[in-house]
Amino acid sequence: MGFWHTGYMDHHETTGLDDCRAVLMEPIVYPCKRCGENFQLPDDLRTHCFEKHPAQKPVLYVHGKELGNKPYRVTQHIAQSDIIVTNCDHVFFNDKEMTIDAICRELSRLSWDTCRIKLQKEDVVVEFALNFCIASPEDIRGIEEQFEEMVAKHRLDTCVIDEFIAATKKYKTAIGYCDGICAYLYGIMAKERMPGSLTDHPQYVGKYNKAVEQMAGYERPLAKVVSGLIGFHFNHFAETVCLVSNKTRAGQTAIRYQEWIQENMTESWSVHGSDASLMRTESLLVDRNTKKITHWMTQPLENLFGKEDKIESFLKDNLEQYDAVKVQMLLCKMYQMANNVNNGASRHAKSLRNQIGPIGKWAEAQIGKDFQFANGKV
Ligand SMILES: [Zn+2]
């Protein structure tokens, strides 16, 4: 349960966020904006773009991401190898023409600034804005220390969040990190329908989205755990796996859902990859429903025999639609295993068949299917 739930301290010891420094910086995926294919390295993405999508206009990549019209928020230092320019004859830094090398030198000096880069190919000119807001390690540490102070209070309300904001005000360069944490906590308050929540229940979605956006630039375990939990909530399982792999309950559960969706016959999810420090961070921040789902999902299906009614009633208890999808997938699998096809597995599969994307396709394929069939035994 999250740090605000009663009974939290009975089950958890504190270890401190610093223990997990420098773990979990990978894997990062670099998606192609044009076709969606994912690459492990910025260079692979560049080669792909050269070969598959010969550009008509100049393109600028920073940290493996292709820049667009929106100002790009720079939260990590830019080294020469982080900048890629394609299909371009002239490059301008704040209207001054320079070589790429010179621009990289300029960029590597910035940490709290804005600048413009203009790329020209014949008569085609494209301009990009970069907002530098690179947090200092001291400010990051300051925010994480205050986060620890906050969770030690074991309660969550707007006063606690206000106190956290006031205490972190001085860590100016990491303000986005603080905003991300707060957005998540406001989101949790709305999601759990806590008294005193400033936002109505349905608005938790907006808060969650804001939290992910704010956290994206911070390569910190806390940021990854929060974004991993949010991705998990929205059933973006691949995103969660990218962020936390199999090191947390949400990550392990996301892997299992992915395997179900891909109809993998041999399950490779396991609780053995757990990282104690990340597990602690997750348990501090997990909401009640996610906690329940990941608790069930990190057990073999056999262990859940006899719990169908309990899980069915959880499903009917004001569950958000995203969580309902996860619970129905679980029930579908449980009923398949019990050979309860028509009244059990297919009933849930039918109500999931209209889900957009792979979950809908998976559900369609489950209708009328039983466990023996699913295991190729028939
Ligand atoms: Zn592509």
Asked whether residue 328 is assigned to any structural domain, the reply reads yes
Ramachandran category for residue 16: left, alpha or beta (phi over 0 → left; psi -120 to 50 → alpha): left
Spatial CA neighbour of 230 closest among 249, 244, 212, 252 = 212
Distance 24 CA to ligand 1 centre (A): 27
Give pLDDT, residue 356: 86
212 and 230 in contact (C-beta within 8 Å)?
yes
38 and 77 fall within a common domain: yes
- Number of compact structural domains in the chain: 3
Instruction: Report CA(360)–ligand 1 centroid distance (Å).
Output: 25
- Predicted pLDDT at 129: 96
Residue 154: its pLDDT value, please?
A: 95
Q: What Å distances lie between residue 148 and 125, 152, 270, 334, CA to CA?
A: 48, 6, 29, 39
Q: Domain residues for 322? A: 299-374
Domain boundary among 133, 153, 184: 133
Task: Identify the pLDDT of residue 197.
Answer: 93
> How close is the Cα of 301 to the center of ligand 1, in Å?
39
- The pTM of the whole model exceeds 0.85: no
What is the reported pLDDT for 11?
45
Q: Are residues 157 and 90 part of one domain? A: no
User: Do 157 and 79 have their domain in common?
Assistant: no
Among 291, 284, 286, 288, which Cα is nearest to 144's?
284
- Look at residue 240 and tell me if it is in a domain: no
Give, to the nearest 10 degrees, the angle between helix 276-285 and helix 249-261: 90
Residues 248-273 as b or e (16 or more Cβ within 10 Å = b) = bbbbbbbbbbbbbbeeeeeeebeeee
| 197 plus 161 within the same structural domain | yes
pLDDT at 318: 86
Give dist(CA 30, CA 64) in Å, integer.
Answer: 6
**Are 181 and 45 in the same domain?**
no
Which regions of the chain does DSSP assign to beta strands (E)? 30-31, 38-39, 59-62, 65-66, 72-74, 83-86, 90-93, 96-98, 112-121, 124-133
Confidence (pLDDT) at 373? 54
Residue 129 DSSP SS3: strand
Dist. CA 85 → ligand 1 center (Å)? 16
Residues at Cβ < 5 Å from ligand 1 ion: 32, 34-35
Q: Ligand 1 center to residue 54 CA distance, Å?
A: 10
Q: Are strands 124-133 and 72-74 parallel, antiparallel or unpaired?
A: parallel
Q: Is residue 89 domain-resident?
A: yes
CA of 187 to the centre of ligand 1 (A): 34
Question: What is the chain's alpha carbon radius of gyration, rounded to the nearest angstrom?
Answer: 23
Burial classification of residue 89, based on how many CB atoms lie within 10 Å of its CB (0-12 exposed, 13-18 middle, 19 or more buried): exposed
Please state, as a whole number, how many other Cβ atoms lie within 10 Å of the Cβ of residue 296. 20
Query: Contact, 234 vs 322, CB < 8 A?
Result: yes
Helix axes 137-151, 158-168, angle to 10 degrees: 150
Residues 121 and 162 in one domain: no
CA of 45 to the centre of ligand 1 (A): 8
Query: What φ, ψ does residue 84 adopt, rounded to 5°?
Result: -130, 130
Paired strand residues for 233: none
The reported pLDDT for the residue numbered 12 is: 47
CA-to-CA distance for 378 and 106, rounded, in angstroms? 66
The answer on 148 and 14 residing in a single domain is yes
Last residue of a domain, one of 233, 253, 277: 233
What separation in Å is there between the alpha carbon of 50 and the centre of ligand 1? 9
Q: What is the pLDDT of residue 9?
A: 47
- Residues in contact with 35: Cβ distance below 8 Å, sequence separation at least 6, in sequence order: 52, 53
Ligand 1 centroid distance, CA of 224 (Å) = 26
Q: Is 124 helix (H, G, I), strand (E, B) or coil?
A: strand
Angle at alpha carbon of residue 276, lines to 191 and 286, rounded to 5°: 5
- Tell me, yes or no, whether 158 and 13 share the same domain: yes
Measured CA to CA, the distance from residue 46 to residue 50 in angstroms comes to 6
48 alpha carbon – ligand 1 mean position (Å): 6
Final residue in a domain of this structure, among 215, 233, 251? 233
Cα 3 from chain centroid?
Answer: 20
**pLDDT by 10s per residue, the chain, length 378:** 788 886 554 444 444 454 433 334 445 677 887 788 888 777 788 788 778 877 678 999 998 888 988 999 898 889 888 898 988 999 999 999 999 899 999 998 999 999 999 999 888 899 999 999 999 999 999 999 999 999 999 999 999 999 999 999 999 999 999 999 999 999 999 999 999 999 999 999 999 999 999 998 898 999 999 999 999 999 999 999 999 999 999 999 999 999 999 987 777 778 888 999 999 999 999 999 999 999 999 999 999 999 999 999 999 998 999 999 999 999 999 999 899 988 899 999 999 999 988 999 999 999 988 766 555 443
Q: Is residue 259 part of a domain?
A: no
